[in-house]
Amino acid sequence: MKKIKKAKKENRIIMGILFVLFCIYAATLLLPLIWMFINSFKPNNNEFFYDQWKFTSFTFENYKLLFTGENNILEMFANSLFLSLCIPTVSTFFSLCAGHAIASFDYKLKNVFYFIFLMPMFVSVAGTTPYVYKLLNDIGLFDKHLGLIVMSCGVSGFGFLMYYSVFKNISHTYSEAAMMDGAGYWRTFIQILCPQAINLIAAQWVMGFIGTWNDFSGPYLFLPTHPTLGVGVKEISDKIDLGYSYPELFATIVLMLIPTLILYFVFQKKIMTVSLGGGIKG
């Protein structure tokens, strides 16, 4: 009994220390966001540099300028939203189909395709950017939203592996029963199999949305005349010395953060379930 009490006491001490450490870590993440949010309401650079932690003056002018100024924030917001809805949807669909095709059917080149789909996890694609740039120019998709959407049709290594794990653990009796009732392959796939992986699908889609929303390099390189909010933050940052203020830049960043924060809070349970391994269970 003494050993058990001693072990429990030691566990409580360890958990207490870990709790304090995680609170400190959380504070280091939250404080910069709070600081940025406060300063997004400062009227100008002078007020910002005078006192960065006090509300000596308060204004919504920076947020009004985003929609009434010359930065085309509404266009940037629309571009970001369109790409963030389309790209994860297309990417999730193709990864889902590939995972199902490799996990649920037997054919000669099955293992070959399996390793091909895993290759993006082991090979850096950064060096292919010039070739992608030239390819989009050659096929007439450069500076078009469709170009980035087509680029997302490739099956990603991690997403494919997750869906493969799900379908590998789903019993074939579900598919067989549906087909005996007259369902075809697509109906069985969409109505019977996909709902069993709905947590993973939702989590992957949300993370894809957040990644696309925050993406800078893709729109900057391949959509030069259709900037997104990620590109807009850089443009405003570059104009700081030309009359733009840091509070206006912070207001743009806050606007950019709002959709991703809302999505995360709505779907955080599904994301955490997948992060803890629940998404790979059949």
Q: What is the mean pLDDT of residues 187-215?
A: 86
Rg of the chain (C-alpha set): 24
In the chain, where the domains are located: 2-39, 71-280
Q: What is the pTM of this model?
A: 0.79
Tens of pLDDT, residues 37-60: 888 888 877 777 777 676 667 778
Tens of pLDDT, residues 132-152: 888 889 999 999 999 999 888
DSSP string, 98-164: HHHHHHH---TTHHHHHHHHHGGGTS--GGGHHHHHHHHHHTT-TTSHHHHHHHTTSPPHHHHHHHH
Mean pLDDT lowest for which of 134-143, 157-166, 172-181, 273-282? 273-282
Separation of CA 213 from chain center? 7
What is the dihedral sign for C-alpha 31, 32, 37, 39? positive
Q: What is the mean pLDDT of residues 89-98?
A: 90
Taking residue 213's Cβ as centre, other Cβ atoms within 10 Å add up to 22
| Highest CATH level, class, for 71-280 | mainly alpha
Calpha distance 223→86 (Å, rounded) = 15
- For residue 240 the two structure tokens come to 């700081």
